[in-house]
Chain A
Amino acid sequence: MDNEENSLLDHITQGEYKYGFVTDIEMETAPKGLNEDIIRFISSKKKEPEFLLEMRLTAYREWLKMSEPRWAHLRYKPVDYQDIHYYAAPKKKQELQRLDEVDPELLQTFEKLGISLEEQKRLTGVAVDAVFDSVSVKTTFSETLEKLGIIFCSFSEAVQKHPDLVREYMGSVVPSNDNFFAALNTAVFSDGSFCYIPRGVRCPIELSTYFRINAARTGQFERTLIIADEGSYVSYMEGCTAPMRDENQLHAAVVEIIALKDAEVKYSTVQNWYPGDKEGRGGIYNFVTKRGMCRGSHSRISWTQVETGSAVTWKYPSVILLGDHSVGEFYSVAVTNHHQQADTGTKMIHIGSHTKSTIISKGISAGRSNNSYRGLVKIIKRAQNARNFSQCDSLLLGDQCGAHTFPYINVENKSAIVEHEATTSKISDDQLFYCQQRGISTENAIGLIVNGYAKEVLRHLPMEFAVEAQKLLSISLEGSVG
């Protein structure tokens, strides 16, 4: 590697996080620590029905029996679960009806993040639900959606207004005792987004949630539940940021998607949590359980994710393909830099016959980071004619980083066709030379190649997000991507 490239990589490694500001806003927090009283406090604060409190307490008791998973290719300081505020919310004055009633300070924050709710509302036609320290602050466009019968609101509102739906579907995809972090989330989740698309409705706009951790020493435990009834369609987007802090903050979310017969859900996410500084101090621990279930036949769930943030990522958006002819898709770009670590991938569980799944995963590691793909493709005995194609590629920038692939393939049916392929390499000298030879600087050439490399995934993102994702790629690899 020549000097120019070295300095370039140094430059890349010096990219800083742009969303690291703190909003000074009046907060209401629960005391630190976790016990049944805290859970009761959260539940009463949110005026929850009895069944939900029961669910929380059951999950908490299960959680006490579990231990933190250590099998991932990750190294981090153990989390002290008693040193976290499990509830932090902007102080509410009254029920908000209009956007201009929202604390102007908050609105400014979202503007800084580039998601001005006002602007979004007018220009893009995207319905936004913004979640600030686990509490949903404002959902735009609710009225338009209401006309179509679409429910898009904060989780707490859904609990109040649609308890039957919540009761029926919550925990049906990710049971409370599914894993350590899911159990923790079920016990202490504070808010999140809820979305229900009625039968035969095609959601005309893209639904979007923005998550922001603001307060210090808090954990964010939001919960998202998306239900697509028969024949419906929805495209859902999620974005997240957090301020820069020296300590590690915990984010343990649960996302559940249910697609009934002929329904289609497209879930896109751009994760831009604070990744820690260049020395690896601070940053978010992102331990998230995301799972979708194609319950009906011909249903379809697609995950698209761009991972640039969080110090440690432990995340496997999965699809359970229960209905016959259902389709699961997973597209991912994971960028790690500095001391970031990511262990991410997907699970495709084929249960119905003629089910199909596609996995495209692109990892980019730079600095001293470690980036792992961990995936499972499982085809059970009764899943006739199942089909899977997986491709996971890794790109290495710099000689101090690591890229790993752990694909598990378990097949029990002879009619299945499963293909997996993966490559790991650095940007080839040939490609660089080719670009340079045509007068493109090394810096731009690397940008070009990285963008081209990720294109296959980026093109699955909705328009607005694709632009943001490309910007993020350039911030994460600052200095190289033009």
Chain B
Amino acid sequence: MEQIVKTMSLKEQLSDQFQRHRDIIGRNDTPLIAQAREQAFHRFMEQGFPSDHLERWRNTDLKRTLSLDYDQDIVAPALNTEVSNLLRCNIPHFDTFLVSLYNGWYISENGSWITRPDGIVIGSLAQAIKHFSTLVEESFARIGQATRNGLEALNNAFAQDGIFIYVPDHVSADQTIQIVSMVDHDRNLLLQNRNLIIMGKNSRLKLVHCDDSLNQQPSFTNTITEILLGEGAVIDHYKLQNINDNSSVISTTLFHQEANSQLSTHVTVLNGGLIRNDIYVDMEGENCTSDICGLYLVDKNQHVDNQVQVNHLKPYGTSNQLFKGIIDDHARAVFNGHVHVHRNAQKTNAYQSNKNILLTDKATVNTKPFLEIYADDVKCSHGATVGQLDQEALFYIRSRGISYDNARLLLMYAFAAEVINKITIEPLRLRMDDLVKKRLRGELSICDQCVLHCRTKENTVSFDIDMSKI
């Protein structure tokens, strides 16, 4: 455990920590990874934390996050409880294979390197460096080359642990794999994880990834997930974020798609102090499809920022973005959708849509759905709306004897349902549906439990509406 001296800025602290402990941080590294770390560290020192001078960061201010002091573990701390106590998932009828990142370190009941009967390999990143060193090296080199912002470089310098999943060619996972990133600590933690998911040709995977915090302690998560889809691979990826109001999560997800692969990713933000999702999709093969959806429900002083960049590099690609949000109190929502159609990506279809409902005059929306197109035989469109609940619809419902509050809830729920209904895993969809209803009713606002680890008995939420009157 490293206790950081308070008088230094976070950047100085991190620099100090890296220089003093580089041997421990890189104890598992191959020479190539060590080199990438070193380069990334220097890049971070040059670039620093992103500021609002960067176009992509102009609406997200990290000042509040960076003003706090954080501890960062250099080696995994000892667990003082049974692993099985920490891993519980009680979504009814939802059978998942669970691995977890507990305070940033891999834990699983089945050990740190698992080969499932269907051939899927799941393990910690530290183990992956031993078993699949080339793949991990490539990942570190890729992120090392990216110059988008200092946070990615920082992750490349420090990330030691994370989840590694390898799905061999032609294997289709029968069980949903669930990753739970849990923060449960009595001090402020800085977590930097690196997840790497490699999918072989024609493989299939369903992946649910949850970010949770178990108490109100501030934390700062800077995580990168890379997902490589081989030819014809199909992934259903769900990300659920429900962290406390004092924590910040910067989550960067990079998808690389080979020919004929299909991506569906789904982000749901239920709660969080500052949540930023950077989603990059690179269509490196022909005929790829990707569906990128998001739902964010924010209130109080929360800040949510979704940044999506879809790079159409090859012909016949289709991408679809749908992001919807309800913004309450003083909250702020940012959406930045970028579709980049490269010169030879002919026959591309790209759609983008961002819809927002503002509930108060203190809430703010910044949206920028933008298109950058260099190919001529394409169909691209985008749309963005910011508005309020439809007064006529409200009146219609109220004229049928439903109270104002219930009518409002019903409309908000209907607004959110478009995104929720895109979830294809039935038990998950029902649970999400439930959580969104709870969230809209304000019952989830002080949630000290994980989304999928609710200790209370399952009780469905229903509106107090007499349907016979409608």
A418 adjacent to B385 (CB under 8 Å): yes
Bound together, the chains give a CA A108 to CA B359 distance in angstroms of 63
Bound together, the chains give a CA A425 to CA B384 distance in angstroms of 19
Q: Which residues of A contact B370 (CB under 8 A)?
A: 404-407
Bound together, the chains give a CA A1 to CA B378 distance in angstroms of 13
Chain B min CB distance to A40 (Å): 37
Interface string of B28-72 (1 = CB under 8 A from A): 000000000000000000000000000100000000000000000
A420 adjacent to B384 (CB under 8 Å): yes
Q: Which residues of B contact A413 (CB under 8 A)?
A: 358, 361
Say whether chain A's binding surface is mostly helix, strand, loop, or mixed: strand
B387 adjacent to A416 (CB under 8 Å): yes
Q: B377: which of A402, A412, A426 is its contact (CB, 8 Å)?
A: A426
Q: Which residues of A contact B386 (CB under 8 A)?
A: 379, 409, 411, 416-418
Chain B min CB distance to A10 (Å): 15
Chain A min CB distance to B310 (Å): 14
A440 within 8 A of B: no
B367 adjacent to A422 (CB under 8 Å): no
Sort chain B's interface into a size bin.
Answer: 35 or more
Q: Which residue of B lies closest to A396 (CB)?
A: B376
Bound together, the chains give a CA A416 to CA B383 distance in angstroms of 16
B385 adjacent to A414 (CB under 8 Å): no
B9 within 8 A of A: no
Q: Which residues of B contact A101 (CB under 8 A)?
A: none
B373 adjacent to A403 (CB under 8 Å): yes
Q: Which residues of A contact B363 (CB under 8 A)?
A: 412, 414
CB under 8 Å from chain B, chain A span 397-456: 397-426
Bound together, the chains give a CA A212 to CA B346 distance in angstroms of 41
Q: Which residues of A contact B185 (CB under 8 A)?
A: none
Bound together, the chains give a CA A423 to CA B349 distance in angstroms of 11
Q: Which residue of A lies closest to B376 (CB)?
A: A396
Q: Which residues of B contact A400 (CB under 8 A)?
A: 343
Bound together, the chains give a CA A412 to CA B334 distance in angstroms of 12
CB under 8 Å from chain B, chain A span 368-420: 379, 381, 394, 396-420
Q: A426: which of B55, B376, B384 is its contact (CB, 8 Å)?
A: B376
B385 adjacent to A419 (CB under 8 Å): yes
Q: Which residues of A contact B359 (CB under 8 A)?
A: 414
A71 within 8 A of B: yes
Q: Which residues of B contact A407 (CB under 8 A)?
A: 368-370, 382, 384
Q: B373: which of A379, A409, A424 is its contact (CB, 8 Å)?
A: A424
B367 adjacent to A409 (CB under 8 Å): yes
Bound together, the chains give a CA A399 to CA B373 distance in angstroms of 10
Q: Which residue of A lies closest to B338 (CB)?
A: A406
Chain A min CB distance to B326 (Å): 11
Q: Which residues of B contact A403 (CB under 8 A)?
A: 371, 373
Q: A411-B365, A412-B364, A424-B371 are in contact. List 20 more A-B contacts (CB 8 A).
A: A1-B377, A381-B361, A396-B375, A399-B375, A400-B343, A402-B372, A409-B365, A409-B366, A414-B361, A414-B363, A416-B387, A417-B386, A418-B384, A420-B382, A423-B380, A424-B373, A424-B380, A424-B381, A425-B378, A426-B376
10 inter-chain pairs at a CB distance below 8 angstroms, sorted by A residue, are A396-B378, A405-B369, A406-B368, A407-B370, A409-B368, A409-B384, A409-B386, A415-B361, A416-B388, A421-B384
